[in-house]
Amino acid sequence: MHLIKDNSVTPPLLLQVASGLNELNRPELAVAACREAIRRNADFAQAYYEMGVYSRRCRSSDELVESLARKAIELAPEEAGYRIGLASLLQSQGRSRDAWKLVRYIAHDDLISLRCTCSLEQLASLFEAMQDSARAMLCRRRLEEIRSRGEDCDCQ
């Protein structure tokens, strides 16, 4: 907790502290670290997004998690990872159309650069459900490429 209150700790470093606290199974302290990063830099998109991730681990409302992800997207609309993460949440709520609207314009290069097989699997399923076969096929090909190298997802 001392690091969170230390004014010499920069917002990016606070997010590293948050990650460590999360790894120690203290997501509530990770949320506090993100909150402090936002207090110090209100335009720090990654802090909003990560606060949403840790808030979800704390069993906060889906509405709060969604609002934090949307704020991150507002601040950094080019960051595909924020859109993919929020789309995953919306899809889990049965809001596939809303999820698809978030990810349908993700650039081809961003899709083929994804390395998280979990995200690719979710995106492929979403694109298939929305009859977006070209994007679904792109995600499936990328999955095959990753798995053929013996790699797998390392997300939590």
CATH no. for residue 68?
1.25.40.10
At residue 62, does pLDDT exceed 70? yes
pLDDT at site 13: 97
In a domain, 57, yes or no: yes
Number of domains composing the chain: 1
Output the six-digit token pair for 24.
């120690």
Which tokens hold the place of 121? 């699997």
Contact 39, 23 (CB under 8 A): no
Average model confidence (pLDDT) across the chain: 95
Q: What's the pLDDT at 155? A: 65
Domain membership of residue 117 (yes or no) is no
Is residue 14 assigned to a domain?
A: yes
Q: Is 63 within a domain?
A: yes
For residue 140 the two structure tokens come to 């499936």
What single letter denotes the amino acid at residue 8? S
| pLDDT value for 151 | 82
Give the rounded percent of residues in the chain with a pLDDT score beyond 90: 94
In a domain, 1, yes or no: yes
Q: Within a domain: residue 65?
A: yes
Q: Give the torsion through C-alpha atoms of 72, 75, 77, 83, to 10 deg.
A: 0
Nearest CA to 38 out of 66, 10, 16 is that of 10
Q: Say if residue 60's pLDDT is above 90.
A: yes
- The residue whose two tokens read 């948050």 is 18
User: Residue 84 has which token pair?
Assistant: 């993919």
Angle at 9 between CA 1 and CA 64, to 5 degrees: 65
31 within some domain: yes
Distance in angstroms between the alpha carbons of the first and the last residue of the chain: 24
For tokens 């809303």, the residue is: 98
What pTM was computed for the model?
0.90
Question: Residue 153: pLDDT band by 50, 70, 90 thresholds?
Answer: confident
Residue 61 lies in a domain: yes
The whole domain housing 51 covers 1-77
Q: In a 3-state reduction of DSSP, which class is residue 24?
A: coil
